Amino acid sequence: MMNKQPGTSGLIFNEPQLWDKSREGRCAVSLPKMDVDRSPLGPELTGDAPDLPQLSELDVVRHFTRLSQWNFGVDSGMYPLGSCTMKYNPKTNEVQAARQGFAGAHPLAGEEFSQGALRLMYDLEQYLAEITGFPAVTVQPAAGAHGELTGMLIIHAYHAKQGRQRSKIIIPDTAHGTNPASASLCGYESINIKSGPKGILDPAIVAEVMDEDTAGIMITNPNTLGLFEENIKEVCEIVHAKGGLVYGDGANMNAIMGIVKPGDLGIDVLHLNLHKTFSTPHGGGGPGSGPVAVRKDLIPFLPVPRVEKELDTYKFVTDCPDSIGRMHTFYGHFGVMVKAYAYILSMGGEGLKQASQYAVLNANYIKESLKDTLNLPYDRPCMHECVFNDANQQEYHITTMDMAKRLLDYGFHPPTVYFPLVVDGAFMVEPTETESKEDIDQFIDAVKAIAAEARQDPESMHKAPVKTKVTRLDEVGAARKPCLRG
């Protein structure tokens, strides 16, 4: 049998700081001999030369290549991080975003010199409107949580316009953690409700708390258990009947593109994460984009400037008296929009639908393959991710954290752990549509091998990871006495 897991073989180079490698006179460039007299620098430039390391070209190349190999990314292996869609993104989208016309576009260049960029933003809003089933979209917000804030400000402005502000927002326990934060930034009090026994919303529980002082509800769908909120239409009716609005957290759109349009379900405001579903690598705090889609009567509240088309000309419109105003300097993260635009065009409608179908198939394959190994609290068909926990390993005193750490030795990035909070010791896996069956099988085998180790040699597992450059860290110590100097 071949070596089934990618694993780590220990070929990880140590690498000192550049100053330690520096040798007097070593240099990475060859310049011709000086044929003019030395002349002194101006008075403001006197003093000691800066202490820069002196290195050859090869020293520099090896240094940065070695550092890059200490890192883990989706280009090196599977990254099954639930709730985040860490999928592989085709490199062509990066190439398109780096094209001179896009990368060199300047936000102050003016509309007449930016028609291509405006058209791209306009068309992207149209495509996203089509995918989500809403009449209008803004691409201005810079991240998912920023989209939530935008959406909640729109809901706030809507109620103000109705003549009566409301003070509360209903948030289920399966919502993403950013939801209550966004509601609270708008001054709303979060009313937390529990999901039903099937891991989805129970309309009766919503009806119990929904009243005329409640501005609406924030629903993550599919929710953070990876389950589709099957009662969504009924919940929307309950909230609407009391004059509230339904906010949809659509960051998990990766599971339902081309299959369900949130706009058809009764949702009023929805955000997407372009940096999850529509290409653009994410993580590391890099630029993102969280477009917001709204139903027809909420369009006047969208942020300005809006991109509009008149005959064949695109222009920014700022004259929108009910708008919540600007949410970002200039127009948002344009580079992310280019990648999403390229992704949507290259995939096409059928391709996007297929991506969602594979994402769901892959997650259900993992769920079925591992449900005898790890405990599965909600044993139902899932969407793009599935949530296990460590209940089966408790008798060996092995926790989700131990297994996550041990996965590193097998060459996998650990999944999301201890989230969502509704599942104790959660171990949440999202394989995404881009992993092959072979890679997914290797992941499944690794988890099975780890579960066997948990039974046979739990003591060793408490030391994992053992093959990585840095082994098990004292996390409490790291938090209490951080060493910030490397």
Residues that bind ligand PLP (CB under 6 A): 83-84, 143-145, 176, 178, 220, 249, 251-252, 273, 288, 290
CB of 383 to ligand PLP, least distance (A): 12
CB of 356 to ligand PLP, least distance (A): 15
137 or 299, CB closer to ligand PLP? 137
CB of 446 to ligand PLP, least distance (A): 25
CB of 93 to ligand PLP, least distance (A): 18
Q: How far apart are CA 475 and CA 164, in angstroms?
A: 48
For 426-451, the DSSP string reads EEEE---TTS-HHHHHHHHHHHHHHH
DSSP label at residue 245: E
C-alpha torsion sign, points 206, 207, 208, 212: positive
CB of 289 to ligand PLP, least distance (A): 8
222 or 263, CB closer to ligand PLP? 222
User: How long, in residues, is the chain?
Assistant: 486
CB of 66 to ligand PLP, least distance (A): 30
89 or 399, CB closer to ligand PLP? 89
290 or 465, CB closer to ligand PLP? 290
CB of 119 to ligand PLP, least distance (A): 26
206 or 219, CB closer to ligand PLP? 219
292 within 8 A of 147, measured Cβ to Cβ: yes
Phi, psi at residue 427, to the nearest 5°? -135, 100
416, containing H or E segment: strand 416-417
Q: Which residue is nearest to ligand PLP (CB)?
A: 144
Phi, psi at residue 53, to the nearest 5°? -65, 145
Cα separations in angstroms, 191 against 215, 330, 370: 11, 35, 35
Q: How far apart are CA 83 and CA 371, in angstroms?
A: 19
270 or 447, CB closer to ligand PLP? 270
For 6, half-sphere exposure in the C-beta direction (CA atoms, 13 angstrom radius) is 16
385 or 409, CB closer to ligand PLP? 385
